[in-house]
Chains A and B, each alone.
Chain A
Amino acid sequence: MKISFHINGGAQSVAVDGNTPLLWVIRDMLDLKGTKFGCGKAACGACTIHVDGMAVRSCSYPAKFAEGKNITTIEGLSAGEELHPVQQAWIEEAVPQCGYCQPGFMMATAALLEKAPNPTDQDIDDNIVNICRCATYYRMRKAIHRAAEIKNANS
């Protein structure tokens, strides 16, 4: 079936089985490799993207539901050359170790900051439930608070 949507600000149409996970459309058809496959069961969060601003696990999101939606991946998080506050904070706090899961964490964090501009540690624990095998959680917590500072200073 033909599915049309906007991704990272541009219009896009794909012809694909509607039940194909959106993750594979993004990675294999649109060649946006920043979004990662982790568990395939909506558990680890490595595949997190935004659909109409909401954090969504793309491994468990049928492509047919993307029709007419605005999709953002890690490649579209920044505004042109200007880093998103989450990206800036991730660099400042040197968060990644192996880095594989980080795009998912960053997308989940960006979604959180839109709803909770000053998240508490409890907000972070409750909302950011992705999994990192390198256990970079401590640095991520610092980076999330730092991202909030940057975002609030910019707005």
Chain B
Amino acid sequence: MKKAYLFYTLFLAAGMALAYASSQPQDGEGITPPPGGEEPEDALQAFDKMMAVLTHKRCVNCHPAGGRPRQGEDSHYHNFNVQRGADGHGLPALRCGTCHQRENNDYSGVPGAPEWSLAPLSMKWEGLSRVEIARSILDPARNGGRTLEETVHHLTEHELVLWAWEPGVDANGRPREKPPVPKDEYIKAVKVWAEAGAPIPEE
């Protein structure tokens, strides 16, 4: 009886927390995973939207599995044998900043954003399924020690991440392809998914 009461109390508290979190502005705060059970359908739809973005070349090109970034719409290895280097910012005399600055350069076609660099190797997404990517971004051992709240902040507010929707033009002046989901819909999807407890479907 005592156990049942305790369970009911915890369940109620968790439900209230979830309802509270869902009602908050979309600032990434108040994220509280719900108790176990089936994932809400909207959370899974949100997962689909989010992963359509995270598996897009604008994201994966800089989350490579090895020591070399990818580039372009066909995700070829970065020209000039560009490499990750010890800190993810390139080699000693061939830094990312040798060519990439804080904003896109529409004259040269060189893309740019603050902190232009590769994701650490622990955050490699290249070659992973969307479920594997989702597990990776929730794993503090691989996501840079981020909590779910910090992960949401990174996914929805980091300027380098949001560059994907302002990718500029390439060396031939052609606009780069944007992710298949509009930015505001993606941000909303990430938050809906996280507020539902970040469910990962079985695939």
Contact = CB atoms under 8 A, between A and B. Distances in A.
Interface stretch (A4-12, A39-47, A75-83, A88-96): A39-47
**Chain A interface, >50% SS class:** mixed
A127 B80 contact: no
A41 B98 CA distance: 12
B93 A116 contact: yes
Q: Which of A108, A125, A127, A128 has the most chain B CB within a 10 Å cutoff?
A: A127
Contact of B97 (A40, A56, A128): A56
Given A21-B107, A40-B107, A126-B81, A65 B97 contact: no
A111 interface: yes
Nearest to A21: B107
B201 to A, nearest CB: 42
Interface string A56-89: 1101111001000000000000000000000000
B91 to A, nearest CB: 5
Nearest to B94: A127
Contact of A43 (B79, B92, B97, B102): B79
B171 A116 contact: no
Given A21-B107, A41-B108, A60 B99 contact: yes
Given A62-B101, A126-B81, A129-B80, A55 B94 contact: yes
A19 interface: yes
Q: Binding site of B, secondary structure by majority: helix, strand, loop or mixed?
A: loop
Contacts of B44: none
A60 B108 contact: yes
Given A41-B171, A116-B93, A129-B81, A59 B98 contact: no
Interface string B77-118: 001111100000001111101110111010111100000000
A111 B105 CA distance: 23
A65 B102 contact: yes
Contacts of B93: 55, 108, 111-112, 114-116, 127-128
26 contacts: A19-B107, A21-B107, A21-B108, A40-B107, A40-B108, A41-B110, A42-B99, A42-B105, A42-B108, A43-B79, A48-B98, A54-B95, A56-B99, A57-B108, A59-B108, A60-B110, A62-B101, A62-B103, A65-B102, A111-B93, A112-B93, A126-B94, A127-B92, A127-B93, A127-B94, A129-B80
